[in-house]
Amino acid sequence: MRSPRSLRNGGGDAPSHHPRIQTPPHFQSTVSVQKLRRFNTLILVFRVAAFCFSFTASIFMITNSRGSNSPHWYDFDAFRFVFAANAIVALYSLFEMGASVWEISRGVTVFPEILQVWFDFGHDQVFAYLLLSADSAGTALARELRGTDTCTAESGFCVQTDISIALGFAGFLFLGLSSLLSGFRVVCFVINGSRFHI
């Protein structure tokens, strides 16, 4: 039993420290998930753009035939390379679009996380280089044809070829941006052990 003196001197049951306002334990993880979702959405936008440009480039190239007397795209190795590279990148971008939608909607990767991170980064690098090589070869051939009778007699063939190559370069640009972001994800994974720490 406390003495009256202790009561007069404030010897009650006051807490020994002031209460602190604490952040909810799930707050940081929620913020990280929101950042990751925005990050994946940006990658998805780049994937969609790369798919649209590469797919359109391959369509322009494969339909570039004006008749029996006109040159055909498959008569030139560089133009076949342009079509093949753009078609491959379009298929790859379509797969990556599905993987991004899956990850955004379900919060998990299609493959195990470490495999998915390195898969995206490695394939982005390889296919970006493939697309750049193909469009560079196509550009060199298109310049050679511009001063010949092929473009003089069939200007439509050369114009459509130029459009296909230009669309391919646009696809490379967006694939390159995707490659930068997937490289950033690799760095985050290596440093933090998880992409959720962005």
Task: Tell me, yes or no, whether 78 lies in a domain.
Answer: yes
Task: Tell me, yes or no, whether 4 lies in a domain.
Answer: no
Task: Tell me, yes or no, whether 145 lies in a domain.
Answer: yes
Task: Tell me, yes or no, whether 31 lies in a domain.
Answer: no
Res. 35 pLDDT band, cuts 50 70 90: confident
Task: Tell me, yes or no, whether 15 lies in a domain.
Answer: no
Task: Print the domain residue range for 154.
Answer: 50-62+72-98+118-180
Task: Tell me, yes or no, whether 105 lies in a domain.
Answer: no
What is the rounded CA–CA span in Å between residue 94 and residue 20?
A: 50
Mean of per-residue pLDDT scores for the chain: 83
Task: Tell me, yes or no, whether 185 lies in a domain.
Answer: no
Question: What pLDDT sits at residue 27?
Answer: 37
Task: Tell me, yes or no, whether 85 lies in a domain.
Answer: yes
Sequence-distant contacts of 36-41: CB under 8 A, at least 24 apart: 36/195, 36/196, 36/198, 37/104, 39/181, 39/185, 39/198, 40/100, 40/103, 40/104, 41/104
Question: What pLDDT sits at residue 2?
Answer: 52
Res. 26 pLDDT band, cuts 50 70 90: very low
Residues 93-129 have pLDDT tens digits of 999 999 999 988 888 888 888 899 999 999 999 999 9
In total, how many domains does the chain have? 1
Identify whether the C-beta of residue 163 lies closer than 8 Å to the C-beta of residue 60.
yes
